[in-house]
Structure 1
Amino acid sequence: MERVERTACQGLINIIRFNWHFYLLSILFIVAGLFFRQLIPVQVLLVLIILSTLLSLGVSWYIYDGSGLYHLRWLDELPVSTGQRIINIHAGFDETSHFLQQKYPGAELQVFDFYDPLKHTEISIERARKAYAPYPGTQIIRTTAVPLPVASAHVIFLFLAAHEIRKEEERCRFFEQLHHSLQENGKIIVLEHLRDTRNFIAYNIGFLHFFSGSTWKRTFAAAQLIIGKEMKITPFLSAFILEKNGITS
């Protein structure tokens, strides 16, 4: 398979490309504010909007382009042997399968996509799906029916995807299925932004789309999964290394 590399500023460009309507509205608001600034004292608000937009773009560049996130070196301690089955599950936009296959060339990679246009109505995901072809062999699934046999997976990856399962009951049921599909020494890797102070500063009210650490821990516990390790990939991204209850690292 041909080696895939990310281009410079690819993450930042994609964010602007898929969410251009938000930035257009911000620009229009700023222009309107400047035009009517003699009638309405909005200078402070305009400065806050400009600073907030620049901050969110700067943080996004750091996370998705500057931090080396997609080099996957933070997974160097994860043992994956030739022939083992690894699963990558995403919610409509897959930026990681090619890199997982490159990192674990001897593993058997299977990719699942639980995107549902009736549930996931964000225009940004729809634009991303049109811009990027799916990884070869990607299988469309439902979160309520993950097609994995019991004890069949060595590692399951969920990169910035699980938060799209908005209903807690559905999310718990989804992770219960993943629990049953794991081998006894298997791992589930969940990468997410958290609804915390750092992400609020970076993304303003956009941080409400994320879940808090306590919410994730409640979900994992309900699925009888334990957190073998929790680590910060960047100050804005947390990775949970999950194991079957009773298995220790």
Structure 2
Amino acid sequence: MEKINRTPFQGIVNIIRFNWHFYVLFLLILVGGLLFTQYPLTRLMLCGAAIATLSSLVVSWYIYDRSDLYTLRWLDDIKFRPHGRIVNIHAGFDETSQLLAHKYPGADLQVFDFYNPEMHTEVSIERARKRYAPYAGTRTISTAAVPLEAASVDVVFLLLAAHEIRDPGERIIFFKELYRCLAADGRIVVLEHLRDAPNFIAYTIGFLHFFSRAAWKRAFNNAGLIVVKEKKITPFLSALILQKNGIAS
């Protein structure tokens, strides 16, 4: 299979492209404030906000363009049977299915998209969907009904997607569906930013878009799942490896 290459600034360019409204608004506020305010404290606060915004972009460039995130080497210890069944589930913007197909060429890969414009209202996702075509064979699903047989999947990947399910009840229902589909010795890989100190330093109030480790574990536990391993993919990304509760590791 042909090697997949990302451009050197693909990640940060996408962040700016899909969230341009935020940066334009901030720039207007910054320039207007610096030009028209006479208060030194206000000017200082605006400069601080500009530095914080620039720092968050630098961190994002490091995560999405310079780290091992898209090499998938951090998945090397996820083992499953040869020609096993793997499922990649995303929230409308898919940068990983082609990479997973390349990493696991012998696997039976299925790709699902749970994006629902009435429930998952991020404008950035709508822009991303217009920019990038879906992976071939992608199926649109509901978070309440994953179209898979019981105990039929070896690995489910949720890579930077599950946080788009903002409602706690919907998250629990979704993970219960994944529990139903997962083989007894199967794994679920949830990759997310956490609402923690490193992400606060990187994104300031933007870290509120993420969920805490405790919030994730509550959802998992309510669905009958437990975290058997946590891996750091940079200080800002955590991979939570799940299995069914009560199954020996």
Please give the TM-score of this superposition, normalised by the length of structure 1: 0.96
1:189 is aligned to: 189
Kindly provide the CA deviation profile for residues 119-141 of structure 1, in whole angstroms up to 9, marking residues without a partner as x.
12211111000000000000000
Identity of aligned residues (%): 62
Counterpart of 2:150 in structure 1: which amino acid? V
Distance 1:117 1:37 in 2: 40
Partner of 2:71: 71
Report the Cα distance in structure 2 between the residues aligned to 1:173 and 1:39, rounded to whole angstroms.
51
Matches within 5 A, 1:190-229: 190-229=190-229
Greater Cα offset, 107-116 or 223-232: 223-232
Amino acid across the alignment from 1:100? L
- Taking the TM superposition and a 5 Å limit, the aligned residue runs for 1:19-58 are 19-38=19-38, 42-58=42-58
Structure 1 residues 97-137: Cα deviation after superposition (integer angstroms, max 9, x where no partner): 00000000000100000000111221111100000000000
The residue matched to 1:148 in structure 2 has which SS? coil
1:110 alignment counterpart: 110
Residue number in structure 2 paired with 1:92? 92
Corresponding position of 1:237: 237
How far off its partner does 1:173 sit? 1.2
CA distance in 2 between partners of 1:33 and 1:63 (Å):
31
Aligned-partner residue type, residue 49 of structure 2: I
Query: Given residue 92 of structure 1, which amino acid in structure 2 is its aligned partner?
Result: G
1:70 alignment partner AA: Y
Q: Distance in 2 between matches of 1:112 and 1:154?
A: 15
- Which whole-Å deviations, capped at 9, do the CAs of 1:50-73 have from their partners, x for residues lacking one? 111111101101111111200000
State the distance in 1 between where 2:151 and 2:38 align. Answer: 68
Other structure's SS at 1:236 match = coil
Residue 157 of structure 1: SS of its match in structure 2? Answer: strand
The ranges of structure 1 where at least 4 consecutive aligned residues each deviate by more than 4 angstroms after the TM superposition are none
Q: Which amino acid aligns with 1:72?
A: L
Q: Deviations for 1:31-83, whole angstroms, at most 9, x for unmatched residues? A: 11221143675221121111111111011011111112000000011113432
**Aligned-partner Cα distance in 1 for 2:180–2:169:** 17
Q: Name the SS of the counterpart of 2:142 in structure 1.
A: coil
Distance (Å, rounded) in 1 between the aligned partners of 2:243 and 2:228: 6
Does the CA-based 8 Å contact 1:26-1:49 persist in structure 2? no
Deviations 1:198-249 (A, max 9, x none): 1112112211111110011111111111111012111111111001112233
Count of residue correspondences: 249
Name the aligned partner's letter for residue 8 of structure 1. Answer: P
CA distance in 2, matches of 1:83, 1:171: 29
Aligned-partner residue type, residue 147 of structure 1: P
CA distance in structure 2 between the aligned counterparts of 1:15 and 1:132, rounded to whole angstroms: 14
Three-state SS of the structure 1 residue aligned to 2:94 is coil
Contact 1:228 1:248 in 2 (8 A): no
3-state DSSP of counterpart to 2:233: strand
Deviation at 1:88, TM superposition (A): 0.2
Whole-Å separation in 2 of the counterparts to 1:248 and 1:236 = 29
The answer to whether the Cα contact below 8 Å between 1:232 and 1:238 also exists between their aligned partners in 2 is: yes
Cα separation, 1, equivalents of 2:128 and 2:81: 32
CA distance in 1, matches of 2:82, 2:98: 17
Separation in structure 2 between the aligned mates of residue 166 and residue 120 of structure 1, nearest angstrom: 8
Gaps of 5+ in 2: none
Is this contact kept in 1: 2:68–2:74, CA < 8 A?
no
Q: Is the 8 A contact 1:230 1:239 kept in 2?
A: yes
